[in-house]
Amino acid sequence: MHFDVRPAKPEEYPVLWRLFHDTVHRVNRRDYTTPQLTAWAPEEVDLSRWGVRMQGIDPFVAIAEEQIVGFSDVQPNGLIDMFYVHHAWQRKGIGSRLFAEIDERARQMKLDKLHSHVSITARPFFETQGFQVVVPQEVIVNGVMIGNFVMSKSLSA
């Protein structure tokens, strides 16, 4: 299956919110409690604040069958702030295609390392992409403690 990857458009930011929310609540529920999921991706969102966040990270989207099926970003310091694949499109190569884009952008930015705060659920996938756990951590999100991992990947040849 072929997936196009391109920069997200500001008018698509609400679609990215819905994809983020639904992925957290449908995919991550096997590793997190309902209160944790709700803190991480609340039912109510201020779309203007979300839009500012998206504008700040400059995400790119994966497109299949004329719809957004995933999105991610890579920051100048090597941080992957967001990495989400639509719950109905898991295990179809979209995550790998997004990582190909991340790797290409990282090369263009001359980064020597990538890092991210990775959920329990996403850890195995990130490991298949060459990431290693730096440290497990617990963070407070909207007053609720959520466990995840700081993971990194060296890009040095």
- What pLDDT score does 147 carry? 97
* Measured torsion, CA atoms of residues 151, 136, 83, 156, in degrees rounded to the nearest 10: 0
Closest of 27, 16, 20, 14 to residue 123, by C-alpha: 27
* pLDDT tens, residue by residue, 25-39: 999 999 999 999 999
The answer on pLDDT for 157 being more than 70 is: no
- Please return the burial class of 154, using the count of CB atoms within 10 Å of its CB with bins 0-12, 13-18 and 19+: exposed
* pLDDT tens, residue by residue, 95-141: 999 999 999 999 999 999 999 999 999 999 999 999 999 999 999 99
- What pLDDT score does 156 carry? 78
Q: Where are the domains of the chain?
A: 4-111
pLDDT over 90, % of the chain: 96
CATH of span 4-111: 3.40.630.30
pTM of the full structure: 0.94
The answer on pLDDT for 1 being more than 80 is: no
Show Cβ contacts of residue 8 under 8 Å, excluding neighbours closer than 6 positions. Answer: 16, 54, 58, 59, 60, 61, 68, 71
With beta carbons less than 8 A apart as the criterion, state whether 152 and 113 touch.
yes
The answer on pLDDT for 19 being more than 90 is: yes
Adjacent-strand bridge partners of 145: 140
pLDDT band (50, 70, 90) for residue 3: confident
- What pLDDT score does 151 carry? 98
